[in-house]
Structure 1
Amino acid sequence: MFKVQGINHITIRVSNLEESITFYKNVLGARILHKGNTDIYLDVGGVWLCLLEIIDAKPICKNQIGVDHFAFTVSKEHFPKAVLLLNEQNVRITRGPLQRGGGNTVSFEDPDGNEIELFTGSLKERMKDWK
């Protein structure tokens, strides 16, 4: 056995790198760390996201095995601003905003339909509600 120290990075397949860069910068405040020909590394709240452009990419069906979504922590005081920004940017919201699992949550899609969640609670708060 070995010890994992944490998440190093998450790679997301996208169909249009430039469109996705704009989305992640404008919606999540991503900062560019490195840009290659078909990929880019972004910093989003201390998490490295790699966007990897796949030419002729096809969307994954929602009932297919794989990653369902990924979530970022947002403070309770910034949550209303985040929801407002999502609406101003005409981002497709898939659930919420609502209170769930001990916090406020809103789920939305990036340009390729990858689902992202913003959540204000902690794992401890979530587990109190989901015994």
Structure 2
Amino acid sequence: MFKVNGINHITIRVSNLEKSVTFYMNVLGAKIVHKGNTDIYLDVGGVWLCLLEIKDAKPMDRNQIGVDHFAFTVSKEHFPKAVLLLREQNIEITRGPIARGGGDTISFNDPDGNEIEFFTGSLEERMKNWK
């Protein structure tokens, strides 16, 4: 058996690289790590996101198998600022803000409809609330 140490990076297919980079930088505070011809690697709080541009991409059906969403940890102190930023940027909020699973949560979509969540709780707190 071997040990997995963590997530190395997450690759997200996008239809417009520049539009998506701007979104992730403005909303998540992402920093560019590498820029290729059709991809850009971003650092978001120590997590690498690779945005991979797919020309003529079609949105996934919500009932299709695949990644449902990804969540970023935000401190309780910074959560209200994150909510305010989403509202100021006119980003459609798909759920929340609500208290759920041992923390505060808010969900929204990137320009291509990939769902993102900000969550203030820990895995341990969430598991106490899921039985």
Q: Flag whether TM exceeds 0.5 (same fold).
A: yes
**Structure 1 position 39 matched with structure 2 position 18:** no
- Give % identity: 84
Note the residue ranges of structure 1 that are not aligned, 5 or more in a row: none
Matched residue type, 1:19: K
**TM (normalized to structure 1)?**
0.99
1:62-81 superposed matches below 5 A: 62-81=62-81
State the aligned residue count: 131
Note the residue ranges of structure 2 that are not aligned, 5 or more in a row: none
1:58 Cα deviation after fit:
0.2
**TM (normalized to structure 2)?**
0.99
1:2 Cα deviation after fit:
2.0
**Structure 1 position 125 matched with structure 2 position 125:** yes
Tell me the secondary structure at the aligned position of residue 65 of structure 1: coil
**Structure 1 position 56 matched with structure 2 position 53:** no
Give me the CA root mean square deviation: 0.5
Q: For the residues of structure 2 that align with 1:3 and 1:129, how far apart are their CA atoms?
A: 28
Matched residue type, 1:15: S
Q: For the residues of structure 2 that align with 1:78 and 1:68, how far apart are their CA atoms?
A: 25
Runs of 4+ with deviation above 6 angstroms: none
Tell me the secondary structure at the aligned position of residue 23 of structure 1: helix
